[in-house]
Structure 1
Amino acid sequence: MDKVDVRFPQPAKAPITNLPKNALERATALVSLMGRMTSLLQRETAAVKARRPASELAQFIKEKQPMALVYEDVSRALRVDREGMRNLPDDLKAALKEAAGALYAATAENAETLQMNSAAQKIIVDTMVSVVTKAQKAPTTAYAAHMGGGRGYSPPPHGTRASAALNTRL
């Protein structure tokens, strides 16, 4: 049973009312939806590879979420209706299988691209943290051999040691 916080009651979610009513409608809608989701994932993958701005990538997320929710509802309703699934035309079953394969491939490529992008950003952040840490540990004064023949004093570098900061909005 799900835990419910009674201190802050949430309004009940309204069920989606315009879902397809029978297996044939669900399967047809699902094929179309999977095609659109495949296209969206391919566009997002290309945008990530092309290093498009974050605002553009955020738009893909806004489009993906409602599609994923509808996909989940429609596919669950179709899977539950075993009799309706058996009675679907063979060409529609083949279209479902083909669309599912294309969606799976696009999802796998998208996930791999996002993971590689995430790993690259982690390397950049780790490098920046290392550089900042080294800069903060640098001595504030140094004796230079070029001053006064042997040992000499050189003033500390300009600015505070903590002036190097990490931009967290990578």
Structure 2
Amino acid sequence: MDKVDVRFPQPAKAPPSNLPKNALERATVLVTLMARMTSLLQQETAAVQARRPTSELAQFAKDKQPMSLVYEDISRTLRVDREGMRNLPDELKASLKEAATALYAASAENAEALRLGGIAQKIIVDTVVGAVTKAQKAPTTAYAAHMGGGRGYTPPPSGSRASATLNTRL
């Protein structure tokens, strides 16, 4: 639980003044916002499918986050205003429905692309880990110089593959 200093009361934060004030403004802004979000999701989906660099994909995530928060806030206040929703023009209601349908379709496509991208990354990582593990477990043979200068066979080392040396100089 956060500590609150009751000795110095803080003034209440005023809501941002640039938010739409009535249902008509909210619906108009929401249609535009959903179109922008749909476009961004489609761009991100194309970037994921084209295997663009991680930095580019991270920028999409940074752009999506504030838009999602504004979308959530405006859509919630619009849903609460039932009287305002009833009084919206039919064209605007149809635009809201079309924009919502397009946004949900783009969201589903984007989620699927991100899921498949994650699976592909996991396969690549598992393949590399398997190859490294297999290489570490592979038996090795070593030829060492024996007495007399000839080459001879020595069995593979056992135990850890880490090497160690012994300082024999005293």
TM-score bucket of the superposed structures, by smaller chain: 0.7 to 0.9
* 1:31–1:96 contact (8 Å) kept in structure 2: yes
| 1:116 corresponds to | 116
Q: Does 1:63 align with 2:63?
A: yes
Q: For 1:110 and 1:14, how far apart are their aligned partners in 2?
A: 36
- Structure 1 stretches of 4+ moved >4 Å: 11-15
Equivalent residue runs for 1:129-168 within 5 Å: 129-141=129-141, 153=153, 161=161
State the shift of 1:56 in Å: 1.1
* 1:135–1:161 contact (8 Å) kept in structure 2: no
| 1:149 corresponds to | none
Any unmatched runs of 5+ in structure 2? 5-9, 144-151, 163-170
Distance of aligned partners of 1:26 and 1:134 in 2 relative to their CA distance in 1, 3 Å threshold: same
Distance of aligned partners of 1:20 and 1:127 in 2 relative to their CA distance in 1, 3 Å threshold: same
Q: For 1:14 and 1:137, how far apart are their aligned partners in 2?
A: 65
Counterpart AA for 1:17: S
Cα distance per residue 1:33-67 (max 9 Å; x no partner): 00000000001111111111111111111110100
Q: Does 1:37 align with 2:44?
A: no
TM-score (norm 2): 0.76
State the shift of 1:128 in Å: 1.1
Identify the range of structure 1 (50-59 vs 38-47) with the bigger mean alpha-carbon deviation: 50-59
Distance of aligned partners of 1:15 and 1:61 in 2 relative to their CA distance in 1, 3 Å threshold: farther
State the shift of 1:6 in Å: 3.6
Q: For 1:5 and 1:139, how far apart are their aligned partners in 2?
A: 59
CA RMSD of aligned residues (A): 2.7
| 1:166 corresponds to | none
| 2:82 corresponds to | 82
State the shift of 1:17 in Å: 3.3
Distance of aligned partners of 1:118 and 1:75 in 2 relative to their CA distance in 1, 3 Å threshold: same
Q: For this pair of structures, how many residues does the alignment match?
A: 146
Cα distance per residue 1:2-51 (max 9 Å; x no partner): xx3449xxx99874432101000000000000000000000111111111
Distance of aligned partners of 1:22 and 1:44 in 2 relative to their CA distance in 1, 3 Å threshold: same
| 2:17 corresponds to | 17
TM-score (norm 1): 0.76
| 1:46 corresponds to | 46
Q: For 2:74 and 2:136, how far apart are their aligned partners in 1?
A: 56
Query: Over alpha carbons, which structure has the higher Rg?
Result: 2
Counterpart AA for 1:82: R
